[in-house]
Structure 1
Amino acid sequence: MASPARLFARGTYAEATRIAALLRKETVGGVLLITGALLALVWANTPWAPAYEGLRDTVVGPSALHLDLSLGTWAADGLLAVFFFVAGLELKREFVAGDLRDPRKAVLPVAAAVGGMAVPAVIYTAINLRSDGGLVGWAIPTATDIAFALAVLAVISTHLPAALRTFLLTLAIVDDLLAITIIAVFYTASLSFTPLLLALVPLALFGFLVQKRVRHWWLLLPLALATWVLVHESGVHATVAAVLLAFTVPVVRSRAAGGPEAGPGLAEHFEHRIRPISAGLAVPVFAFFSAGVTIGGLQGLGASLRDTVALGIVAGLVVGKAVGIAGATWLVSRFTRAELDEDLRWPDVIGLSLLAGIGFTVSLLIGELAFGSGSVRDEHVKVGVLTGTLMAALLAAAVLKPRDRHYRRIAEAEARDEDGDGVPDVYQERPSGIPDLPHGSPRETVHEASDRRRQPRPANLD
């Protein structure tokens, strides 16, 4: 009988190294995001707050195309399209060429993402059932900000296993896809079918060119911009265009990733070129223009948090995310043959679920769409998102920090390459007949395990 699948089991070495490099980039982007948000928050609560508001509300762009937008709107509709394009590329790559192309491995992050969005939405709705106009913001606490979460994870400095970090990344990517679907379906106030149908023309041409492996920016960029403009004109949020464009890009695995001889795929090429723009410019600038809320001291903070909208967001991010993600993971382990990897414990999963309660980029975007940029309720949304994010980060640190010493010792052992082949020994299969580590023996190092692997195979097992 086949052995049960392991939840959060270690993936292939090629995929682990790719994810590690990606996490480093996302962490740097998260630090820039936090910097932009803090700068806006401080500026908006100084005597120079009107200058910040004037900058955010400055209108630029051609009015003939209905693109005479404020800088804050350009950040939300334009720069975030770059972010969602990269997220779309990563999502497609994970499910086409990554370890998650195996449905048995994909079911966990997908189920966790769904649970992590459904439970916060239910909690928010329950709190705002009697609220005057508050229900429209039900989707605000459903989103996880991966860059922010990874930046906090770096500050916590926990040596979580790579599989858990990969799970957080993949969960957030699926979360982004579901969030953009919610935006397209539930937050489209008016829909114009003519520009939406016209958008299919540049989208199809873009897809045709990338399928032919065309990389010329002077061909692709105008088509992408035309698609974005037409989707924006249709009334659908323009970031949806970015996801659709990303899904047309082909994924071919490179030799380094164990794929065919054709070399890196176009999705990998685009992601490599565009991710620095997303992490280093698009998301931090959006954070700067979105996080500038005037709190008004403790009295103003208390008044904002008395609004059921803010309360629902805080409860959804802090409680809903943790219950939804950890609960979905438990259900997968309970009703399938999957089991938690023997090196992990449930507090690790709970800590990671709390960390997923860090919501920022997409949460603020949905808040603006739900209540209108600059409205009183939008200000309360910002306070709720910032408060919930801070609480989730502190609770996650309280749970994960005690695990730091344990996993640091394991990580140091796993990094060893005793046979000198460039691949850590932990990623190499143990020969059949050599028993696995007994459950509850994490102190055995990879060095000791390697010594056992080099022992002659017992004759009675042949």
Structure 2
Amino acid sequence: MAAPSPTDHKNRKLLGRLSLPESRFIADALRAETVGGVLLLVAAIAALLWANIPAISDSYASVRSFHIGPASLGLDLSLQHWAADGLLAVFFFVAGIELKRELVAGDLRDPRAAALPVIAALCGMAAPALVYALVNVAGDGSMDGWAVPTATDIAFALAVLAVIGTSLPSALRAFLLTLAVVDDLFAILIIAVFFTSEIDFLALGGALVGLALFWFLLRRGVRGWYIYVPLALAVWGLMYNSGVHATIAGVAMGLMLRCTRREGERTSPGEHIEHLVRPVSAGLAVPLFALFSAGVSLSDEAIAQVFTRPETLGVVLGLVVGKAVGIFGGTWLAARFTKAELNEDLAWPDVLAVATLAGIGFTVSLLIGELAFAGDATLADEVKAAVLFGSLIAAVIACVLLKLRDRRYRALTEAEERDEDRDGIPDIYEEGNPEYHLRMAKIYEDRAAEHRRRAQKAAAAALQSAAGSTTEADRPA
């Protein structure tokens, strides 16, 4: 995947057209996320069926609580914990690379371009947390779950788009992806700051030494998976035993990779490694985490608890209302105070639809739910159910809003992809290129000549047919 080159933002409109490299990068990245999102959706459905079919529900609890791993290293963990602490480290490693690339080669490199998604993402995290807090203050609930509705799951959101067959214009797709990247950054900070209690400084020091060695080897240009994979595993194990959530190790190593290209390089090391690891993250790590985390009881009593208990109701309203209001409001405020004009091809309802779609919080929301209510397994499962219901409601509302504009989106997408001169570059990016217009003139001239030839041939055939009819008429009976 080619890294996007920053667009000229001096006259760039709010949600305006992307540069060609950036547009292609976004399309490639989201195509991979969509496939992973579909697998994630399948895994979540499988978990719910496994946990709620009476004949096999006991086996689900037994499997995810099965312990495996070296106890001498402090890693005798259940399969559920291996998925949350181990496999999700791979997910956050990829998130770290994505964040690094956005900071050095993407839209976040330009402060003016970064302002919109950063403000929107911050408001999109603050508003759900505020909604949760208000509901739980009013209902005398626990404030421990304030961070649960703050996360957006880009893969799940794209899977929903794929299922309903809706195509978003590149500007909206880029906005959604950048929102998710910034969202992941702050989710990482929340996990690191608020869900670290007791710290083993010896283990943490060992992890930091391992990270320093990782960084040194990268800067020296040392290559070989047989060096980095064992080192990464050692850093992860030390980070886990330190009391800091082990996924932080994945993020840190992702941020250390170089994501800019040097002369003669087709891809940067970060791009190359992301290309190798992303299928493992999207196709294995995240779906397995969903399989072992999304299996919650959906009995009548459990569903009733989701909409009556303040903790769970706060999560649902945070995802459905807080996310939409926060992202839409943050975008509007950014446009209002920077005097930016919305792209004339789009309208504010489009921003609201994407903001609502961002209310699909799954992977990171489930993880934070487990961390926030680690001491209360029943409440943790109810919060997970709330995440599922909130995400489902947000998805349904977003689908309705997006479908209302689907015809417009398809027209914009077709215009962005049209390549009549077949040179590999969409025509919309060549409007200022004189050579493009000369090529198109030649194409139209050739087409006109072909139509004239066909017209002459058709006319000759018609005359011949008419002459034959006259001859038949003159022949004596």
Same-fold status (TM-score > 0.5):
yes
Letter in 1 for 2:350: D
Q: Which residue of 2 aligns with 1:416?
A: 418
Instruction: Give the Å deviation of 1:263.
Output: 2.7
**Pairwise mapping of residues 230-269 of structure 1 onto structure 2 (< 5 A)?**
230-253=238-261, 260-269=263-272
CA contact (8 A) 1:192 1:234 kept: yes
**Pairwise mapping of residues 281-300 of structure 1 onto structure 2 (< 5 A)?**
281-296=284-299, 298-300=300-302
Partners in 1 of 2:428 and 2:175 — Cα distance? 19
Partners in 1 of 2:162 and 2:223 — Cα distance? 35
Please, which of 151, 155, 169 is the counterpart of residue 159 of structure 2?
151
Instruction: Give the Å deviation of 1:119.
Output: 0.3
Instruction: Give the Å deviation of 1:3.
Output: 6.3
Instruction: Give the Å deviation of 1:374.
Output: 6.7
1:354 aligned onto 2:345: no
Please, which of 72, 80, 103 is the counterpart of residue 72 of structure 1?
80
Give TM-score, length-normalised by structure 1. 0.89
Please, which of 276, 279, 282 is the counterpart of residue 276 of structure 1?
279
**Pairwise mapping of residues 16-415 of structure 1 onto structure 2 (< 5 A)?**
16-47=23-54, 48-129=56-137, 134-253=142-261, 260-296=263-299, 298-372=300-374, 375-415=377-417
Letter in 2 for 1:194: L
Partners in 2 of 1:4 and 1:140 — Cα distance? 38
| Farther-moved stretch of structure 1 (375-384 vs 260-269) | 260-269
Instruction: Give the Å deviation of 1:410.
Output: 2.7
Partners in 2 of 1:368 and 1:197 — Cα distance? 26
**Gaps (5+ residues) in structure 1?**
254-258, 433-445, 455-462
Partners in 1 of 2:83 and 2:131 — Cα distance? 30
Instruction: For residues 133-172 of structure 1, give each alpha carbon's deviation from its aligned partner in whole angstroms, at most 9, with x where no partner exists.
Output: 6101100000001110110111232222111111111111
Q: Which has the larger radius of gyration?
A: 2
Give TM-score, length-normalised by structure 2. 0.86
| RMSD after superposition | 2.0
Instruction: Give the Å deviation of 1:209.
Output: 1.5
CA contact (8 A) 2:141 2:311 kept: no
Q: Secondary structure at the match of 1:6?
A: coil
Q: Secondary structure at the match of 2:264?
A: coil
Please, which of 12, 23, 43 is the counterpart of residue 19 of structure 2?
12
Instruction: Give the Å deviation of 1:413.
Output: 2.8
Q: Which residue of 1 aligns with 2:427?
A: 425
Give the number of aligned pairs: 430
Partners in 2 of 1:203 and 1:414 — Cα distance? 43
Q: Secondary structure at the match of 2:226?
A: helix
Instruction: Give the Å deviation of 1:264.
Output: 0.9
Q: Secondary structure at the match of 1:129?
A: helix
Which structure carries more helix by proportion?
A: 2
Q: Secondary structure at the match of 1:92?
A: helix
CA contact (8 A) 2:140 2:310 kept: no
Instruction: Give the Å deviation of 1:267.
Output: 0.3
Q: Secondary structure at the match of 2:137?
A: coil
CA contact (8 A) 1:307 1:380 kept: no
Partners in 1 of 2:362 and 2:297 — Cα distance? 17
CA contact (8 A) 1:305 1:380 kept: no
Partners in 1 of 2:132 and 2:281 — Cα distance? 30
Partners in 2 of 1:168 and 1:318 — Cα distance? 16
Partners in 1 of 2:372 and 2:330 — Cα distance? 28
Q: 1:3 to 1:288 in 2, by over 3 A?
A: closer
| Farther-moved stretch of structure 1 (70-79 vs 121-130) | 121-130
Instruction: For residues 273-327 of structure 1, give each alpha carbon's deviation from its aligned partner in whole angstroms, at most 9, with x where no partner exists.
Output: 000000000000000000111121x343113321111100000000000011011
Instruction: Give the Å deviation of 1:414.
Output: 2.9
Instruction: For residues 69-109 of structure 1, give each alpha carbon's deviation from its aligned partner in whole angstroms, at most 9, with x where no partner exists.
Output: 00000000000000000011011111211243222211111
Instruction: Give the Å deviation of 1:46.
Output: 1.2
Q: Secondary structure at the match of 1:331?
A: helix
Give identity over the alignment, percent.
57
Partners in 2 of 1:80 and 1:281 — Cα distance? 10
